[in-house]
Amino acid sequence: MKLDRLVAKHRSLGRTGAQRAIATGRVRVAGEIVVDGHHPVDRYDHVSLDDETLQEGMPALYVMLHKPAGILSATSDPEHPTVIDLIDHPLRATLHLAGRLDRASSGLVLLTNDGRWSKKLTAPGEKVAKVYLVETAEPIAPEAVEAFARGFYFHTEDLTTLPAQLEILAPRQARVTLHEGRYHQIKRMFHRVNNRVTSLHRESVGPYTLPGDLAPGAWRLLTLDD
């Protein structure tokens, strides 16, 4: 929303009166005088006119959660517990997920009420790295490393996956780094190399890494500096 629209909405000034009030330095956004009526504002901005608060500004929340297996990556579900059910915060109803995990998978889940932040983490064009620890039913063939790096064609979506990094850690354990998030992607990729995923755990998303002291089911608030 543009600043002049917000000011006009909260006071009976009309659009012209709101623009005049802004141009004469009577309006502050986050404590700073703004004289441009086209200045963008959102629900997180505190806006005042002549020291009268027009919009309080909703606090932006950023949450890191260690999802256990069996919990749904959803905000609500009539049958199964969700990640939101694990969060004890008065504003938890405002949260949405910045990327999901399958119900059977565990690991890092990020939630927020800031759509701009979540979009940067989830938009395909951003190619944010996501790292997973994977265990498999059979030993991982060495040639799978090159196959993951080449990418796999998925005929259902008519696309080829982006190059992925496969690091073999043990005969049946590997670390996989993706830069996209297709449906059941890691399971489908291992199926292509004649193997089956038995455990999938997300370790990190972009700059955010699941800390070792955050127990399954536990969460904590983040700041953008974390």
Alpha-carbon distance of 199 to 31, in angstroms, equals: 49
Alpha-carbon distance of 96 to 35, in angstroms, equals: 33
Closest by Cα among 55, 75, 57, 56 to 65 = 75
Alpha-carbon distance of 71 to 1, in angstroms, equals: 36
Closest by Cα among 157, 159, 203, 153 to 177 = 203
- Please answer whether residues 73 and 84 qualify as being in contact, where contact means their C-beta atoms are separated by less than 8 angstroms: no
State the catalytic residues: 102
Closest by Cα among 104, 111, 96 to 72 = 104
